[in-house]
């Protein structure tokens, strides 16, 4: 009777429960859940629909006060069910645990029988049934069926997630004590002892770099670091000691000891002296300054750990001090400072001088600039003269740069600017720029030049009149005949002048019958002299570009008969000049407009034209029409009409059958001591007589040599070097074009190659 009363009292919490247990939609879905516990952490894994998930956390307040493992195992089950409650809804759960006390307590549904189990098994700590009530409340409202199993750990083990420590773990629990991080400096190779100040009956866990890797739990050292560290205890208070045998750079970083509740952090840093002392702007143990101009002496060092300080001193007196890696000293140099020694010294944290470096100060002063023979000189064009730039600075390595009207720079080794055959463009201001270690300083000099005339040309379109207006000293001129050239300076004709005062007049003749006035386009050159020589001689030249506009015209080099090959693509090239630029064109085949072609347009091309009986180069355009010859009817006459803003012009081209020759094929190449014999099989000649070009060179040469022959199948190359490797290739040519080149063949004189 007493046992029944005790059992009922365990369930009195139901007296105040006003809720209801909902119907469960049983899906017969099974979840495998395993949990485990350690003194400082619980862990679990979940097997659901073929996927496994591991998770865990440190104990929360109220769950970590007991050391008995069966109590922690019970709380591990409760925490696990809470963590995955949403995934367990309407499922059957097989929960595995390796602690028989927890399994039996579940099978007996907690309550009074739980205490009987504890007494029977002589458990050291009581197992409160509150965990059972919490689990019951959870599974009722989540419609979960839980069955607890006793299973060997190797089958369903949650040992890994409950023992694994991650850097984020310290954020997942209530921390009772976080001791201030201790920074420790040690040299490479030394033995390091880290003493954990936490006094606890629980095992101390040591974690360290990288990323708070587990080093040890209690006295058990993880295999990964077993050859690097050891764990011991202090004799007096049994504090845990992590011993690092031979400290290295790899051992530096953040360490942590914890008993699962409190923790202590250490930052172990490689102790080192300052290094890499550098004085800024130091060249060959010295630095340059300018008298009266502020200057900063700067010294840098790679700071040691921990940092020390760095100083500037001169004549045994410290003038600047800073820490730990940079020091600057500002001074205004005087002439008396020239040659003074400044020393930079770096000290470690113990005050020991580790590095030093010195620099010598060179002080330069601003030079005064003068000129010889004078600051202003007068000279005739074509004569010789010179300017000498003199400075009184104290820099023996001074260089002088002359700048002419801010456009042209000349360097003079002897400070002399020499003029040979002075040109009118030499007149103007010259800036002498003196470059010293103190800086760049400048002064102006003036050159006055008596020069041959400059010429201006004006054109009056309504009168077709061109006027040449010279301007020079003296103002009296003689002229040569006007010269008419193309834009490429090809001579077309000379035209007589008519003088009006000091100017020369040209009236352009009317164009010939049947010729377009665009034939008068081009450059018109006036040559005048006032008896002052220039670099071009006694006469000065000026060009005027007369750019007439008109409808397009076809140049004389456009071929009226062009060639194509049957079943191949033929190219028809139409060469013409159009000012303004042409807008469009049409192609007519047998008086019908045709579009069966592919176009390529080339503008601003140098073309050959016959103007006033002279073959000259003019700037024009080429329209290249690629026509596929599929039938014999494609060999026809093509009328091309080109249009611009002024008008249109047309030209007829007859396309006839022809082609370039086909590539020959090597038959045999043979070599003697100084000769190479070449034999080949010719290809189709394209409809015209063909000849053959054999190209050859030594294998180390850059340029090819060639030998041309009209023989149809062989030739001999003579005069070669013995025992030398040559590269041989060839191609065919007719009046239409060249064939493709053969592949390169290598042969050494004296050898025979059969193909």
CA gap 585, 582 in Å, rounded: 8
Q: What is the mean pLDDT of residues 661-673?
A: 90
Task: Indicate if 519 and 571 belong to the same structural domain.
Answer: no
Task: Indicate if 618 and 684 belong to the same structural domain.
Answer: no
Mean pLDDT of the chain: 81
* CB-based contact 272:346 (threshold 8 Å): no
Q: Which of 235, 270, 305 is the last residue of a domain?
A: 270
Q: What is the pLDDT of residues 186-211, one digit of tens each?
A: 888 889 999 999 888 888 999 999 98
Q: Which of 134, 163, 192 is the last residue of a domain?
A: 163
Task: Indicate if 8 and 143 belong to the same structural domain.
Answer: yes
pLDDT band at 64 (very low <50, low <70, confident <90, very high): low
Please tell me the least confidently modeled range out of 25-34, 414-423, 685-694: 25-34
Q: What is the pLDDT of residue 234?
A: 86
- pLDDT of 638 strictly over 60: yes
Task: Indicate if 540 and 556 belong to the same structural domain.
Answer: no
Q: What is the mean pLDDT of residues 323-338?
A: 88
Task: Indicate if 672 and 639 belong to the same structural domain.
Answer: no
Task: Indicate if 458 and 431 belong to the same structural domain.
Answer: no
If phi > 0 it is left, if psi is from -120 to 50 it is alpha, else beta; for residue 257 that is beta
Q: What is the pLDDT of residue 704?
A: 93
Q: What is the mean pLDDT of residues 325-354?
A: 89
Report the DSSP beta bridge partners of residue 512.
Answer: none
pLDDT band at 421 (very low <50, low <70, confident <90, very high): confident
Share of the chain above pLDDT 90, in %: 36
CATH number of the domain within which 477 lies: 2.60.40.10
If phi > 0 it is left, if psi is from -120 to 50 it is alpha, else beta; for residue 397 that is alpha
Task: Indicate if 151 and 10 belong to the same structural domain.
Answer: yes
Q: Which of 364, 399, 424 is the last residue of a domain?
A: 364
Q: Which residue has the higher pLDDT, 292 or 94?
A: 292
* CB-based contact 637:606 (threshold 8 Å): no
Residue count (the chain):
755
Reduce the DSSP state of residue 26 to 3 states and report it.
coil
Task: Indicate if 98 and 11 belong to the same structural domain.
Answer: yes
Number of separate domains in the chain? 7
- pLDDT of 719 strictly over 50: yes
Q: What is the pLDDT of residue 36?
A: 67
- pLDDT of 465 strictly over 70: yes
Task: Indicate if 628 and 590 belong to the same structural domain.
Answer: yes
Q: What is the pLDDT of residues 111-144, one digit of tens each?
A: 444 444 444 444 444 445 555 666 666 665 555 5
- The H-assigned helical ranges of 127-255 are 130-141, 159-163
**Element containing residue 650 per DSSP (H, E):** strand 648-657
Task: Indicate if 147 and 20 belong to the same structural domain.
Answer: yes
- pLDDT of 18 strictly over 50: yes
Q: What is the mean pLDDT of residues 542-556?
A: 90
pLDDT band at 401 (very low <50, low <70, confident <90, very high): confident
Task: Indicate if 640 and 683 belong to the same structural domain.
Answer: no
What is the chain's percent helix, strand, coil content, to nearest 5? Answer: 10, 50, 40
Task: Indicate if 333 and 210 belong to the same structural domain.
Answer: no
Residue 750: domain span: 665-754
Q: What is the pLDDT of residue 33?
A: 63
């Amino acid at each position: 009777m007493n046992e029944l009363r005790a059992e009922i009292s365990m369930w009195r919490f139901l007296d105040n429960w006003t809720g209801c247990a909902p119907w469960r939609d049983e899906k017969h879905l099974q979840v495998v859940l395993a949990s485990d516990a350690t003194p400082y952490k619980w862990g679990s894994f979940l097997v659901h629909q073929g996927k496994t998930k591991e998770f865990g956390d440190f104990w929360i307040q109220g769950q970590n006060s007991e050391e008995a493992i069966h109590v922690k195992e019970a709380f591990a089950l409760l925490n696990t069910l809470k963590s995955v409650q949403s995934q367990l809804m309407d499922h059957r759960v097989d929960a595995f645990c390796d602690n028989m006390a927890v399994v039996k307590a579940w099978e007996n549904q907690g309550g009074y029988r739980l205490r009987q189990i504890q007494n029977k098994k002589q458990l050291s700590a009581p197992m409160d049934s509150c965990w059972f009530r919490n689990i019951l409340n959870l599974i009722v409202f989540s419609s979960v069926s839980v069955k607890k199993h006793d299973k060997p750990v190797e089958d369903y083990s949650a040992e890994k997630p409950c023992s694994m420590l991650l850097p984020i773990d310290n954020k997942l629990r209530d921390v009772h004590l976080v001791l201030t991080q201790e920074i420790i400096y040690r040299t490479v190779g030394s033995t390091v002892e880290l003493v954990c100040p936490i006094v606890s009956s629980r095992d101390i866990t040591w974690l360290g770099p990288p990323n708070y890797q587990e080093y040890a739990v209690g006295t058990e050292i993880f295999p990964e670091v077993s050859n690097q560290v050891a764990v011991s205890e202090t004799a007096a208070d049994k504090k845990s000691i992590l011993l690092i045998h031979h400290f290295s750079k790899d051992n530096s970083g953040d360490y942590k000891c914890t008993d699962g509740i409190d923790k202590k952090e250490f930052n172990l840093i490689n102790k080192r002296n300052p290094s890499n002392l550098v004085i800024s702007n130091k060249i060959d143990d010295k630095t340059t300054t300018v008298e009266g101009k502020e200057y900063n002496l700067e010294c840098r060092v790679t700071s040691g750990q921990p940092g020390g300080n760095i100083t500037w001193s001169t004549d045994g007196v410290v003038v600047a001090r800073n820490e730990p890696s940079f020091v600057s000293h500002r001074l205004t140099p005087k002439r008396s400072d020239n040659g003074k020694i400044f020393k930079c010294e770096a000290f470690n944290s113990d005050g020991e001088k580790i590095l030093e470096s010195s620099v010598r100060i060179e002080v330069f002063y601003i030079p005064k600039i003068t000129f010889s023979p004078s600051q202003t000189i007068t000279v005739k064009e074509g004569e010789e003269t010179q300017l000498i730039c003199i400075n009184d600075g104290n820099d023996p390595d001074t260089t002088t740069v002359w700048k002419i009207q801010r456009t042209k720079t000349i360097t003079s080794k002897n400070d002399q600017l020499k003029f040979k055959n002075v040109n009118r463009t030499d007149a103007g201001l010259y800036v002498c720029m003196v470059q010293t270690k103190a800086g760049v300083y400048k002064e102006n000099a003036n050159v006055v030049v008596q020069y041959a005339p400059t010429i201006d040309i004006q054109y009056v379109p309504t009168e077709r009149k061109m006027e040449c207006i010279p301007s020079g000293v003296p103002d009296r001129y003689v002229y040569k005949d006007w010269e008419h050239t193309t834009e490429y300076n090809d001579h077309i004709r000379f035209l007589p002048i008519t003088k009006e005062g000091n100017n020369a007049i040209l009236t352009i003749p009317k164009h010939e019958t049947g010729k377009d006035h665009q034939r008068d386009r081009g450059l018109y050159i006036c040559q005048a002299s006032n008896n002052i020589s220039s670099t071009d001689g006694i006469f000065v030249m000026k060009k005027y570009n007369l750019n007439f506009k008109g409808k397009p015209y076809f140049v004389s080099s456009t071929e009226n008969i062009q060639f194509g090959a049957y079943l191949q693509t033929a190219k028809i090239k139409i060469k013409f000049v159009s000012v303004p630029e042409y807008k469009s064109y049409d192609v007519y085949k047998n008086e019908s407009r045709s579009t069966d072609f592919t176009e390529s347009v080339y503008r601003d091309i140098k073309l050959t034209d016959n103007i006033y009986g002279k073959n000259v180069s003019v700037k024009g355009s080429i329209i290249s029409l690629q026509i596929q010859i599929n039938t014999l009817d494609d060999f026809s006459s093509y009328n091309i009409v080109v249009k611009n803003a002024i008008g249109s012009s047309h030209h007829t081209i007859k396309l006839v059958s022809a082609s370039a020759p086909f590539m020959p094929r090597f038959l045999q190449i043979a070599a003697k001591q100084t000769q190479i014999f070449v034999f080949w099989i010719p290809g189709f000649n394209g409809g015209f007589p063909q000849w053959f070009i054999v190209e050859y060179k030594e294998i180390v040469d850059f340029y090819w040599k060639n030998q041309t022959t009209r023989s149809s199948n062989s030739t001999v190359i003579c005069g070669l070097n013995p025992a030398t490797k040559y590269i041989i290739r060839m191609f065919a040519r007719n009046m239409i074009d060249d064939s493709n080149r053969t592949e390169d063949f290598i042969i050494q004189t004296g050898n025979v190659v059969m193909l």
